[in-house]
């Protein structure tokens, strides 16, 4: 084994992603420090880490987002680096800066890159200058209603108003009718301020049923910058991803190459280092448009790992330690991920509680990333992700067959889960053909097979 790039890393997260990072560290010979809230005393990430520090009560702003307590935890345990995972502080430039000034390495891009990409309107302007196609719309944020109305006339309907500092599918308003525009604009500003602390909003053309296709990139800051292809994340509900697959059944080799080139151009223009994801919308005529760049590891990273046989978390750690990374090589086969949530499978209403039985699937081509086990509780304070089920096969068909089998082996009792939704989706003929867009799920739910059994606890 190579000498470990760090002695000790603090993992500033919880749930499956904290477990995922701890696993990478263990394979690299790096000791780990978990942080936890009082709701997570018995959580798997705490059990699997070498050391752990309680950082506060269940509410995330006083625990998993509590910068002073997390920095103190790193200092007390003498951790040399912090991995932020996704969510929480992962895209907080202020936190990345504080890490720097405390002499702890932040495993991610520079605070400047985070700030740049965190301001979506600014990021779009940079992309436009770099020659990356962007969704038509305002250049930068718009503050005055007059400017908004002028633009609105240019762009036409339908359009979408987005918070510059937005994320997680929140802070977006779609306008279909001219008479709705003024109200929507004002409401969007107020919402943006309340949710993200900035009332900056921008306007875009709203595509009807596009594909969401994103490119994974890795840059080591030593001149090596790689694209690890695309993930198709078009299966969404309310702009939140439910299922992802790689490669995209919609892309041609030519389009894949063009999108990868554009993503690499984007990352270079931003002086980007570490792992990042450049997100695009693709219309039915296969034109693609930049929407945003995420400056962290993504939930859906395992599908890329599966087809490239490449550990993205280890690469992130090596990059942060100033080490070069290996080129990814050629992908092979097909991978798909289902996000299994503690929610009603048809209404998606949250379903926290205690898990009485948790039996994960296995066998060829199956990976399960989870932090749950029989007897664990799903606290109401955090997101409802129970497990990510990832199926890989030589072909898309084999991957889907394995996913179907994996979903039917998976047993989770005590809380409602979205397993039945995923199982129905895997057996849907349109989905099987790869014919779907971001508008797929709603009509799918409406026509879902009536023979689907109601959920029984
Ligand atoms: P967030 O960062 O909040 O997730 P994104 O900008 O990544 O927001 O958009 C999330 C989803 O919203 C996209 O995957 C897509 O389904 C939808 N969306 C965003 N912008 C547009 C647009 N201009 N036209 C159509 N759909 C859009």
For the CA atoms of the chain, what is the radius of gyration? 22
List Cβ neighbours of 365 (8 Å cut-off, separation of 6 or more): 391, 392, 393, 398, 399, 402
CATH class given for the domain over 211-447: alpha beta
pLDDT of residue 338: 99
Indicate if the pLDDT at residue 275 is higher than 70. Answer: yes
Q: Is 166 in the pocket of ligand 1 (CB under 6 A)?
A: yes
Q: How far is the CA of 189 from the centre of ligand 1 (A)?
A: 17
Among the ranges given (237-246, 290-299, 347-356, 444-453), the one the predictor scored with the smallest mean pLDDT: 444-453
The mean of the pLDDT values for the chain is 95
Average pLDDT over residues 215-240: 96
Q: Is 207 in the pocket of ligand 1 (CB under 6 A)?
A: yes
Q: Is 91 in the pocket of ligand 1 (CB under 6 A)?
A: no
Average pLDDT over residues 119-138: 94
Contact status, residue 335 vs residue 399, Cβ threshold 8 Å: yes
Ligand 1: nearest atom to the Cα of 241: 14
Q: Could you give phi then psi for residue 436, rounded to 5 degrees?
A: -155, 165
First-to-final CA distance of the chain: 47
Q: How far apart (Å, rounded) are the C-alpha atoms in residues 118 and 114?
A: 6
Q: How far is the CA of 172 from the centre of ligand 1 (A)?
A: 8
User: What kind of fold does domain 8-107 have according to CATH?
Assistant: Rossmann fold (3.40.50)
Q: How far is the CA of 31 from the centre of ligand 1 (A)?
A: 38
Please report which confidence band the pLDDT of residue 452 belongs to, taking 50, 70 and 90 as the band edges.
low
Indicate if the pLDDT at residue 215 is higher than 60. Answer: yes
Kindly report the number of other CB atoms within 10 A of residue 448's CB atom.
16
Find residue 31's DSSP bridge partners.
Answer: 8
- Tell me the whole-structure pTM to 2 decimals: 0.96
All structural domains of the chain with their residue ranges:
8-107, 136-205, 211-447
Q: Is 440 in the pocket of ligand 1 (CB under 6 A)?
A: no
Which residue CA neighbors atom 8 of ligand 1 most closely?
Answer: 169
Give per-residue pLDDT as tens, 130-168: 999 999 998 888 888 888 888 888 888 999 999 988 887
Note the CATH number of domain 136-205. 3.30.1490.20
pLDDT of residue 448: 77
Please report which confidence band the pLDDT of residue 243 belongs to, taking 50, 70 and 90 as the band edges.
very high
pLDDT of residue 453: 52
Indicate if the pLDDT at residue 128 is higher than 80. Answer: yes
Q: Could you give phi then psi for residue 173, rounded to 5 degrees?
A: -130, 130
Q: How far apart (Å, rounded) are the C-alpha atoms in residues 14 and 104?
A: 20
Ligand 1: nearest atom to the Cα of 204: 23
Q: Is 234 in the pocket of ligand 1 (CB under 6 A)?
A: no
Give per-residue pLDDT as tens, 333-372: 999 999 999 999 999 999 999 999 999 999 999 999 999 9
Would 8-107 and 211-447 be classified into the same CATH topology? no
From 212, 213, 241, mutation site for ligand 1 pocket: most ligand atoms within 8 A of C-beta: 212
Give per-residue pLDDT as tens, 181-194: 989 999 999 999 98
Active site residue 153: no
Ligand 1: nearest atom to the Cα of 170: 3
């Amino acid at each position: 084994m190579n000498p470990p790039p760090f002695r000790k890393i603090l993992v500033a997260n919880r749930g499956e992603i904290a477990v995922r990072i701890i696993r990478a560290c263990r394979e690299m010979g790096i000791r780990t420090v978990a942080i936890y809230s009082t709701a997570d005393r018995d959580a798997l990430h705490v059990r699997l880490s070498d050391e752990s520090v309680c950082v506060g009560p269940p509410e995330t702003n006083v625990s998993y987002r509590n910068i002073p307590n997390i920095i103190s935890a790193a200092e007390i345990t003498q951790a040399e680096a912090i991995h932020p995972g996704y969510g929480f502080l992962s895209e907080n430039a202020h936190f990345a800066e504080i890490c720097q000034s405390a002499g702890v390495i932040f495993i991610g891009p520079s605070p400047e890159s985070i700030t740049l990409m965190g301001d979506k309107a600014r990021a779009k302007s940079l992309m436009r200058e770099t020659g990356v196609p962007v969704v038509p719309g305002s250049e930068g944020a718009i503050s005055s209603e007059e400017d908004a109305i002028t633009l609105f006339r240019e762009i036409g309907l339908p359009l979408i108003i987005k918070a510059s500092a937005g994320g997680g599918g929140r802070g977006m308003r779609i306008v279909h009718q001219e008479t709705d525009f003024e109200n929507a604009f004002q409401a969007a500003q107020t919402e943006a301020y309340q949710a993200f602390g900035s009332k900056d909003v921008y306007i875009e053309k709203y595509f009807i049923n596009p594909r969401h296709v994103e490119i994974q990139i890795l840059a080591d800051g030593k001149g090596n910058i790689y694209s690890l292809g695309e993930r198709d994340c078009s299966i969404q509900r309310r702009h939140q991803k439910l299922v992802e697959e790689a490669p995209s059944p919609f892309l041609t080799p030519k389009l894949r190459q063009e999108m990868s080139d554009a993503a690499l151009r984007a990352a270079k223009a931003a002086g980007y280092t570490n792992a990042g994801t450049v997100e695009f919308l693709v219309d039915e005529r296969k034109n693609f448009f930049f929407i945003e760049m995420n400056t962290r590891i993504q939930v859906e990273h395992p599908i890329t790992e599966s087809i490239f046989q490449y550990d993205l978390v280890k690469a992130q750690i090596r990059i942060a330690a100033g080490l070069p990374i290996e080129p990814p090589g050629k992908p092979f086969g097909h991978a798909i991920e289902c996000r299994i949530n503690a929610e009603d499978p048809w209404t998606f209403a949250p379903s926290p509680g205690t898990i009485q039985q948790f039996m994960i699937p296995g066998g060829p081509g199956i990976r399960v990333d989870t932090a749950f086990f029989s007897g664990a509780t799903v606290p109401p304070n955090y997101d409802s992700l129970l497990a990510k089920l990832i199926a890989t096969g030589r072909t898309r068909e084999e991957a889907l067959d394995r996913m179907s089998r994996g979903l039917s082996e998976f047993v989770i009792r005590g809380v409602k889960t979205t397993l039945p939704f995923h199982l129905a989706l895997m057996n849907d003929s349109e989905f099987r053909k790869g014919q779907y867009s971001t508008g797929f799920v709603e009509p799918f739910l409406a026509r879902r097979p009536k023979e689907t059994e109601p959920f029984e606890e």
